Structure 1
C-alpha cells in the first residue's frame, strides 16, 4: 500500500512538470503544435524516463545500504550510469523533441538530466508522503489501535517480538526521569529504549523483547531521548550507551551488538568520531 501511494504521488508530480516543459517548449518544440499537444508529448517522454529510471533508483539505494557508502553520492553516480541505456533509446526512438540534440553527444547530457529529474520527483513525493502521514494518518492509526484492543496511541503500532535477550539491560527509568520519547510508546513496550532505527518516515524503537514503530524523524526521536548517553552510529541508527553489549568487526565493516542481540551498523565515516568520543574502543586497544 505504501509503495502504491508513493507511485501515485510521483505520477501526480509528473503531470504539472510535463505542463511546465510543454509550456517552455525546449529544443525548438515551442512551435510544434499547441500547448496541450506539446505537454502530452513531453509528458510521454517523462513517463518513459520514469519507467526506465525509477526501478534503478531502488537498486542504487540497496547498493548504498549494502556498502554503507553515502546514499546521495551512490544515487547520483548510479543514475548517471542508468541514463546510458536511456540515451540509446532516445537516439533510436526518433522523437522530434530531441532531434536538435545532435546525436549521442547531445542526448547523453539530456538523459542524465532526465534521470536527475526523476530523482527530484521522487524526493518531492517523499516530502509529500511525509506531510500526509504526519497530518492525516494519525486518526486512522488511533482507530485501528482501538479496534484491536490496544491503547490508542497515535504513532505506535504493535511491536515485533524478538527472541529472549542474551543480557539484562539497565534498570527501567520511571516517573520524571524518563525521556519524552517514552510517552509515545505503547503499554506493551518493555524495558529501556536500547536503540532507534530509521525506517523511511518511521522510527523503530528497539526495546528488551520487541519494538514500537513511531511516525517521526530520527533526529526528532533522538532529541526526545533528552540527553540519554548514546551515539548515532549510522545515518539511520542511534544506540544508547548502556545498551552496548559487544562490538563486531569484519574487515572495514563494524557492528554494535545490543543487549537484546540486535546488531546496529556503524558507518565507516563515523568510526573515528565514535572512537574519539569513547563510544567505540580504539581498534589497536580492542585487539
Structure 2
C-alpha cells in the first residue's frame, strides 16, 4: 500500500469521525457550544486517540505476520487494551468536554469505542488504498480476450498456448511468465513473478485453482509457492522461510513443514538449505 495515500485516507476518515462526534456533542458538550468549537475540541481528543492506538495497530499487524496469530483478533485486543490509559489521559486534559461524566464508568467504554473507531478507519483506509492501486494499475480482473479457443479434453489441464496457466490471462501485459508465488492480501491476491508482482481482486484458493496443475504447494494459509520458484530455505526463529528466485521471502507454517518434506517439496541438503 502506498504509505502517503494510506495516511491521507486515514486523516480523512478521522476528520469525518471528528465532525460526526462534534455534531452529536456527547458528555454535555452540545449545550452552549458552537459546532465549530465542538469539532475542534473532539478533533483534538480523537487525534490523541489516533496517536495512542495507531502504533499498536501497526505492531499487532506485524506480530500477526510473524506468529500466524489471527490478525483482526490481535488488532482488536490491542486497541481495546489502550482504552484505559486513553481514558486516563482524556480525564486529565479534557475536563470541560467530560464535565457531565461521573468517573470512568462511561469514559472507559467511550474510549474503547474511539479506539475501535481508529481501528475501523485504518482498515477502511487500507482496503480503499488497495482498490485505488488496482484501479490505477489496471489490475482489476479483466475480461478474457475474445480469441478462438482450441477444443480440449474436459479432464485435461486448461493452459494457454505457451503453457502458461489460466491465471496469466488476468494479469497485465507487462507481467512475464513464470508465476513464482501467490500471496493473499485481504481480499486480493498478489501474484509474484520473477521480476515483479501484480494484485488481483480474487481469493487465494481461486487463484490456486487457475494455476492449472503447475507444480507447487500452499506453504502457509496466505502463501502458495511454485516448485520452480524456490531458491532456498532459511531458518526464521522457530520456523522456516522460503527464499524465492525473485528474492522474496515466503513464510512456511510450522504445521506444514513435515507435510512439505514428505511430499518432496522441501529437499534437505547438508548445509540446511534446499
By the TM > 0.5 criterion, same fold?
yes
Judge conservation of contact 2:242–2:252 (CA < 8 Å) in 1. Answer: yes
| Deviation (angstroms), 1:93 | 0.9
Q: Which residue of 2 aligns with 1:66?
A: 66
Alpha carbons of 1:24 and 1:206: their partners in 2 closer, same or farther (altered >3 Å)?
closer
Q: Which residue of 2 aligns with 1:80?
A: 80
| Structure with a larger share of its residues in helix | 1
| Deviation (angstroms), 1:88 | 2.0
- What 5-or-longer segments of structure 1 have no aligned partner? 139-153, 156-172
Judge conservation of contact 1:29–1:38 (CA < 8 Å) in 2. Answer: yes
What is the rounded CA distance, in whole Å, between the counterparts of 1:129 and 1:250 in structure 2? 30
| Deviation (angstroms), 1:9 | 0.9
RMSD: 3.7
User: 2:251 pairs with 265, 274, 282, which one?
Assistant: 265
Q: Which residue of 1 aligns with 2:200?
A: 216
Q: TM-score, normalised by structure 2?
A: 0.70
Q: Which residue of 1 aligns with 2:34?
A: 34
For residues 85-141 of structure 1, what are the alpha-carbon distances to aligned partners after superposition, in whole Å with 9 as ceiling and x for unaligned?
Answer: 322211211332223333344433222221111001111212322232233x13xxx
For residues 19-59 of structure 1, what are the alpha-carbon distances to aligned partners after superposition, in whole Å with 9 as ceiling and x for unaligned?
Answer: 22222222233324133332232222222211222122112
- What 5-or-longer segments of structure 2 have no aligned partner? 140-158, 269-274
User: 2:181 pairs with 195, 212, 221, which one?
Assistant: 195
What is the rounded CA distance, in whole Å, between the counterparts of 1:205 and 1:91 in structure 2? 49
Alpha carbons of 1:267 and 1:91: their partners in 2 closer, same or farther (altered >3 Å)?
farther
2:100 counterpart SS class? helix
Alpha carbons of 1:40 and 1:111: their partners in 2 closer, same or farther (altered >3 Å)?
same
What is the rounded CA distance, in whole Å, between the counterparts of 1:223 and 1:20 in structure 2? 45
Alpha carbons of 1:243 and 1:279: their partners in 2 closer, same or farther (altered >3 Å)?
farther
What is the rounded CA distance, in whole Å, between the counterparts of 2:12 and 2:247 in structure 1? 43
